[in-house]
Amino acid sequence: MPYSLTYLYRCLCWNIPRITDYQRFPSAPVNNGPNTTPLEYGPAYPLPAQWQWKHRGLPVAGSPTNFLTDTGTTAFLILQHGKIIEEQYFNGYNADAVNTSFSVAKSITSALVGIAIREGAIGSVQDSMAAYLPEFDRQGYRDITIEHLLQMRSGLAYREGVTPWSDDGLVYYGLDLRKQALKARLEYTPGTAYHYCNYNLLLLGMILERTTGMPVAQYLSERVWQPMGAEMPASWSTDSRPSHFAKMESGINTTARSFAQFGQLYLQQGYMNGQQIIPADWIQASVKAPAEKADTARFMSRMVPPLCKWSAAPHGYYGYLWWGYQIDPHNFDYFAMGVKGQFIYVCPRKQAVIVRFGKQWGKIDWWPELFKQIADTLEN
C-alpha cells in the first residue's frame, strides 16, 4: 500500500502524539458566543497534606502539588455545585493555555449525536449506519447500528500501534479520513464484543456531516459551545486543508475551564443558561452502565491494557463514548478520557466535576481511582 510523503513525514517526524499537536494540524474554529458564562469561585477546597495512589500496583503517597507537577499535569480543577473550589496550573500552563483533548473529543461527539437525534437529523441509535452511509449497504456492514459505533461494538477491525501501517497511524496522521473510514474492515459480528476502535468516530463524524448539513465544528459551536456560554472559543483539528474533516477521535482543543464547563453541562443533565442544550434522556443513556457487558477477552492482548481491563472490571464500564465507574448499586461516576491522562470526571453524588489535563500520564496506574478518592472527601 503506497503512502504519501506527507503522511510518512507526520508518522516518522511527528512520531508519538503530543499535547501541542493542535499547533501542527490545520483546524476549524469552534466559536463561543458574545454572551459567555464564566465560572465563578466557591469556597476553597483544602488540599490534604497527602494523596494516595498506586504505581505498578504498589501504594504511593505524597504531596498533591508535587505529584501533579511530577506527573506532567498542566491543569487541575475541581468544581462543586457549579463553582470552582480548586484550580491550579503547572509546567508552564495557565488558565488561558490551550489543552488538546485527545479522546475526550469522543465524549463531546456523543453529545452531538444526541442533539442530532433530538432534532430529527438522525432517527435513533438503532438505525443502521448504512442508512446514512450507503457505501456500507452490504452484507455484514448493514448490521452495524449507530449504537454499536457509540459503544465500540461495531465489529470493525483495528490495529493498534505507532507504525505507518497501523490503524492508529492511519487515523491519527491520515490526510483524508473520510476515504480512510471507507476502508474499515469488518472483523466480527457487530454487537458481540467491545473493541476500542477509532474508525467508529470517523463514521459518526461522516453521519453528522451528512445529516446536519454542516461541519461538526460548526455544529458543536452552534449547538453546544455558544448556548453553554463557553468562556473561551475552541478549535477542532482537521486531517488536512484539502479534506478539512474533523479529527473526530482526538481533535478538540480549548482551555481547561471550558472543558470543565462541558463537564458541568453534563452534571446538570444538559440544562444551562435557561435552555436544554443536550437532551437529559440522552445523557442518562450515555453515561449509565449497559444492561450487559460486551465480551472483551478476545482483545485483551491487543488493546492498551487499562482500557480493556477497566471495561471488563466489575465496577468499570463503557457507555456511549463515556467511561463509567459503578460506585455502588445506586451510584456511579463517569468520565471522558484521553491519552496521556486528559480527563473530565463527573461525580453526580457529590455534584462535582474534576478536570485534569497533562503532558503525560505520569507515574500513576489509574487516575479515576484518585479522582474517586478526591470526590469522596468532598462534603455534600
Query: Does the domain at residues 5-377 carry the CATH identifier 3.40.710.10?
Result: yes
The Cβ of residue 313 has, within 10 Å, a number of other Cβ atoms equal to 14
Q: Over 70: is that where the pLDDT of 174 sits?
A: yes
- 24 CB-near residues (< 8 Å, 6+ apart): 14
Q: Over 80: is that where the pLDDT of 312 sits?
A: no
The H-assigned helical ranges of the chain are: 5-9, 64-70, 104-118, 146-150, 167-173, 177-181, 199-212, 216-220, 256-267, 280-287, 305-312, 367-377
Question: What whole-number distance in Å separates Cα of residue 376 and Cα of residue 380?
Answer: 10
pLDDT for residue 48: 92
Residue 363's alpha-carbon distances to 52, 287, 344, in angstroms, are: 12, 28, 19
pLDDT for residue 304: 58
- Mean pLDDT for the chain overall: 94
pLDDT, tens digit, 9 for 90 and up, residues 21-71: 999 999 999 999 999 999 999 999 998 999 999 999 999 999 999 999 999
Q: What are 197's three cell numbers? A: 476502535
Indicate the angle between helix axes 104-118 and 256-267, nearest 10 degrees: 50
pLDDT for residue 317: 93
Q: Over 90: is that where the pLDDT of 1 sits?
A: no
Average pLDDT over residues 84-89: 98
- Which sign, positive or negative, has the C-alpha torsion 283, 289, 294, 299? positive
User: Is residue 154 within 8 Å of 123, Cβ to Cβ?
Assistant: no
pLDDT, tens digit, 9 for 90 and up, residues 185-200: 999 999 998 899 999 9
- The label of the residue with cell 491520515 reads 174
pLDDT for residue 205: 98
pLDDT for residue 310: 79
pLDDT for residue 309: 73
Q: Over 80: is that where the pLDDT of 292 sits?
A: no
pLDDT band for position 289 (cuts 50, 70, 90): confident
pLDDT for residue 212: 98
Question: What whole-number distance in Å separates Cα of residue 339 and Cα of residue 78?
Answer: 20
Q: Over 90: is that where the pLDDT of 352 sits?
A: yes
- 1 CB-near residues (< 8 Å, 6+ apart): 165
Q: Over 80: is that where the pLDDT of 255 sits?
A: yes
pLDDT over 70, % of the chain: 96
Q: Over 80: is that where the pLDDT of 295 sits?
A: no
pLDDT for residue 83: 98
pLDDT, tens digit, 9 for 90 and up, residues 315-345: 899 999 999 999 998 999 999 999 999 999 9
pLDDT band for position 230 (cuts 50, 70, 90): very high
Helix, strand, or coil (residue 171): helix
Q: Over 60: is that where the pLDDT of 303 sits?
A: no
- Does residue 289 or residue 332 have the better pLDDT? 332
pLDDT over 90, % of the chain: 88
Average pLDDT over residues 261-275: 98
pLDDT for residue 343: 98
Domain residue extents for the chain: 5-377
Q: Which has the closest alpha carbon to 101: 349, 370, 270, 336? A: 336
pLDDT, tens digit, 9 for 90 and up, residues 101-147: 999 999 999 999 999 999 999 999 999 999 999 999 999 999 999 99
pLDDT for residue 290: 80
CA triple 72-74-76, angle to 5 deg: 110
